Structure 1
Amino acid sequence: MADRIVDVLWVVAFALLTVFSVPWFLWGDGTVVAGLPAWLWWHIGWMVVATALFWQFTKRAWDRGMGVTNG
């Protein structure tokens, strides 16, 4: 049962990553921070989040569902 919950959590994490990858709320906003538009900072930050999530996925869940055992 715990494995199923972990699988669902990974699916939810990647779904949220996808949903919030496009900053709809920043469209048409002309705010500039440190010389770059706010929407570009959103994408830079979101790529850092995506990198961290994928790194954790490769460490913890890469072989889930493939019948591979460690060791």
Structure 2
Amino acid sequence: MTRNRTDYLWVAAFAALVAFAVPWFLWRDATVVAGLPVWLWWHVGWMALASVVFYGFTRGAWDRGIDREVLRRG
């Protein structure tokens, strides 16, 4: 996969994480599971997913947009 395509995929992944971080569709929903509201479980799961995505980012794309030659000279 080309670098530009990979960059766009990371941007899309982080945009999705931000867009769905607030569960708008769960507002006014009083459903409780295991003693906690569903919207709270959504946040717990979302933070776990965000952690996995960020871990993947640090493994393969951390240096996106950084010119390595400039870093070597500095």
Taking structure 1 as the reference length, what is the TM-score of the superposition? 0.92
Distance, in Å, in 1 between the alignment partners of 2:55 and 2:22 is 21
Structure 2 residue runs of 5 or longer lacking an equivalent are 70-74
- Cα RMSD, aligned residues only: 1.4
Structure-2 residue corresponding to 1:46: 46
Determine the C-alpha separation between the residues in 1 that align with 2:37 and 2:47: 16
Q: Percent identity between the aligned chains?
A: 59
* Structure 1: distance between partners of 2:59 and 2:13: 15
Work out which of the two has the higher radius of gyration on C-alpha atoms and give 1 or 2.
2
Higher relative contact order (CA 8 A, sep 6+): 2
Q: TM-score, normalised by structure 2?
A: 0.88
The structure where helix makes up a greater share of residues is 2
What secondary structure, in the 3-state scheme, does the structure 1 residue paired with 2:68 have?
A: coil
Aligned counterparts, 1:1-71, within 5 A: 2-68=2-68
Runs of 4 or more consecutive aligned structure 1 residues displaced over 6 Å after TM superposition: none
